[in-house]
Every structure is written in structure tokens, then in C-alpha cells.
Structure 1
Amino acid sequence: MTAAEWQVYGRRQVYGSPWVELWLDDVDIPGTGRIEHHVLRMPRASTTAVVTDDDGRFLLIYRHRFITGRWGWEVPAGWADPGEDPADAIAREVEEETGWRPGAVELMTAYDAMAGISDAHFRVYHATDCTQIGEPEDISEAARVEWVPEAEVVKLLVGGEVSDGPSHAALSYYLGPHRLARGDG
């Protein structure tokens, strides 16, 4: 049995800002019929980075997220400005959020975070060869910036202290498929 594709007949924007847009799409779902389906669209490219050093440590930030009311560990992340290369954007974000400038930035993977409701597409990079250039530029980004040993990162993931989806996905991908594909695992 082959599934048929949904057909889109039109869309209208309900809300828009530089960060997020809410649309209602007029779609025909095979076997169901026509409905208005809500879609979150992200106007800018999302980037994250797993930042490691030669000692096998990971550069993480500890911050509070007001929407969920939780504190947790995250990897540096941000959005590319219009016309900005996503690899350049994540290098800029790492520097702004942590005070460390990456020497090398390599794409590891990309994924659609919520494909059933959103076009949020994340690119995950591996940043290495970092040089400390100062303190983080934006103090609202993190309460702490720390180099964390790999064993502790695994404990943070298992213990639920990395609850941010892009951070969880990036660290898990790096520790699993990325390393296995390179023969490191």
C-alpha cells in the first residue's frame, strides 16, 4: 500500500514575527478530507553546535527557560541572520554565548524537529579548536559556561538535565551515530 501525499490548496498567515509565524494551511488529507491545518514556520535557519576540546570535554551552558520554567544544560545554539551562512552563524553564536571562538566548524547532521506541525529545520555542527576570547557577550544566555567531561555529559542526558530538544538531539547524535560513523565508538 502506498500512502498518498497531502495536497495544499492555500494558506493564510495568522501571526508573524522575526522569530516565528503561525499559518493555517488548507489541506486535503487522503482518506480524511479537507481541513485547516496549523503550521509553525520559522523564518530563519536554526543552528546548534556540539563543542569539544582535545581533552574530550564538552562546552555547555546552564540556563533557565521561562517557558518551561526549567533550568538545564544546553549546547550553544541560535539562528542565522538573513543571508548568513549557517556555519558562520553557529560560530558567531558559540562566541557570543560562551566567550570561546571555534577554530573549526563541521556539519554533522540536519533534522526537522517537529515535521508534523512545523518547518523548524536544525543544522547540527561540531565545533573544535576553540580559543577563549573573553566573557560571553550576552549575560542573558547563560548563568554558567563550563567544559564538562564526557562521562558527566552522559549523566546529564540520562538524568534529564539536558531537556532542551536541540541540545539533547545534538549531544545524543554526537555520542552515537556521529562517532560510530567515524569509527570512534
Structure 2
Amino acid sequence: MRWKNLGEHTVYENRWFRVNLADVELPDGSHLDHYLIRLRPVAVATAVNPDNEVLLLWRHRFITDSWGWELPAGVVEDGEPIPAAAAREMLEETGWRPGPLRHLFTLEPSNGLTDATHHVYWADEAHYVGHPEDDFESDRREWVPLKAVPDLVARGDVPAANMAAALLMLHNVRLG
């Protein structure tokens, strides 16, 4: 059954997102108003070192008042290539510059409400440049054993679904 978006208008907008109201036609012909959030693409990046440790951020999310492990991530600026945005975010948030990035996968973490497309990349090397420019984004940055990822996710230490999916995929790709 396919829902049809017959049109939408913006009810709020800022630099990061737009909240739109859509007129949606359901398969039975009835209509409903559906709010949705239009977001810029998000670039995500990390590195795995020769010891099979993954570079993670330990951070607090005030919206859910939760702590957890995450990968560096942020919006892609207008005209910026997605891999360049991923590398920039990793450097800004960790102080580590990734080596050549590999595309891991792309996902839509909440496609019932948003059109946020997250592009996840990883590198098998990184070079420490210095203290992160955006150190306010996390309490600490650590190299965590990749083999620990399934247990971290199972315990709830990776509360964001997009980050859990990315880390489990990376675990599978790297450790099989």
C-alpha cells in the first residue's frame, strides 16, 4: 500500500532542518496531515587501527538525557563532497585525521518522520593532529576494541540506532 504526498509546505525552517506539513492521501482515498522533518545529509566517519580498535566518542545527549558511544558525525555543508564532510567531522570532533575513507553504507535512521540520509565511512588508518576543535561535543575520545561492539550495543551503551547499525556493520566487515 502506497501513501501519496500530494504537497507540503514549510511551517518552520532554520540552517539545519525544515519542518513541513504534508497532505497525504492514503490507499483508501482518505487524507491526513503529516508533519515531517527535512534534513541535510549527514556524514559519519571513524577509523579502525591495526589493533582492531575503533575510534569513538563518549557523549551525552540532552534530548534523551542519555550517555553513549557514537561515531563523529555532522551535516554536509552545501556543495561539500560527502566524504570530505565525513573526514572534516572526524577531525573536528576527535583531533584525528582519517586516512583514505571507504564507504561503509548509507541509511535513513527515521524514515517515518525524517528524510535524514546518513552516509557512513571508515578508514583503516588515522593520524593524530591535536586536541579536537569541537571538544565540547564529547567527554572523551577513545580507541575501543571492535570485538566489544556487539556487547556495547546489547548493553545499551550505543543508544543511537544509526550508530549501533554503523558499528555492527563495521564489526562485520572488519572481523567477519
Counterpart in the other structure of 2:147: 151
Structure 1 distance, partners of 2:150, 2:32, is 43
Shift of 1:31: 1.7
User: Structure 1 length normalisation: TM-score?
Assistant: 0.89
Stretches of structure 1 that go unaligned for 5 or more consecutive residues are none
1:5-44, aligned counterparts within 5 Å?
5-31=2-28, 33-42=30-39, 44=40
2:116 aligned with 1:117: no
Contact 1:50/1:170 (<8 A) preserved: no
User: Structure 2 length normalisation: TM-score?
Assistant: 0.93
1:6-85, aligned counterparts within 5 Å?
6-31=3-28, 33-42=30-39, 44-85=40-81
Counterpart in the other structure of 1:133: 129
Stretches of structure 2 that go unaligned for 5 or more consecutive residues are none
Structure 1 distance, partners of 2:94, 2:131, is 7
Structure 2 distance, partners of 1:155, 1:8, is 41
Report how many aligned residue pairs link the two structures. 176
Of the three residues 77, 82, 86, the one matched with 2:82 is 86
Q: Which letter maps to 2:156? A: G
Shift of 1:40: 0.9
Decide whether aligned partners of structure 1 residues 50 and 100 sit closer, same or farther in structure 2, where only a CA change above 3 A counts.
Answer: closer
Structure 1 distance, partners of 2:6, 2:149, is 46
Structure 2 distance, partners of 1:158, 1:9, is 41
C-alpha RMSD over aligned residues:
1.4
- Further displaced range: 123-132 or 152-161: 152-161
Shift of 1:10: 1.7
Of the three residues 104, 108, 117, the one matched with 2:104 is 108
Q: Which letter maps to 1:14? A: V
Shift of 1:27: 1.5
Question: 2:135 is paired with a residue of what secondary structure?
Answer: coil
Question: 2:136 is paired with a residue of what secondary structure?
Answer: coil
Structure 1 distance, partners of 2:93, 2:4, is 42
Structure 2 distance, partners of 1:18, 1:171, is 29
